[in-house]
Amino acid sequence: MTDMSSELTLQTKLRIRNELGRALLGEFLGTFVLVLTIACVCAQAIIPKPALNQTIGVNLGVGLGIAFGVAICAKISGGHINPAVSLMFLSFKQLAPIRFALYSLVQLLGAFFGA
């Protein structure tokens, strides 16, 4: 029988131990999912040229995109997923200036790759 403490699981091998690194990755993925979801929903609504008042799917899709994006990174970094939200936290002195700069950078990168 093998000893469970000696086995390395995939989770322990891939775990990011740096708290800032986890927060930045969470912000990147949250913003990526948000922008990708919104782009896909808008493309799905525009391509078939829907009749007027048939775009409720866009509203639901954007809302779900925001919910999924925040859910991805809420526990890790606070779920900002937008540089404006990070700026608000900075203005209330709840976020350090260096963290604001890094959060904004990875949010812009996440949005770029999501688009």
Return the domain boundaries, the chain: 22-114
CATH number at 22-114 = 1.20.1080.10
Q: Which residues have C-beta within 8 Å of that of residue 80, sequence separation ≥ 6?
A: 27, 73, 86, 89, 103, 107
pLDDT digits (tens, 9 = 90+) for 40-69: 888 887 777 766 666 787 888 889 989 998
* Residue 107 · residue 85 · CB < 8 Å: no
pLDDT of residue 79: 86
pLDDT of residue 3: 54
* Residue 29 · residue 72 · CB < 8 Å: yes
- Global pTM value: 0.80
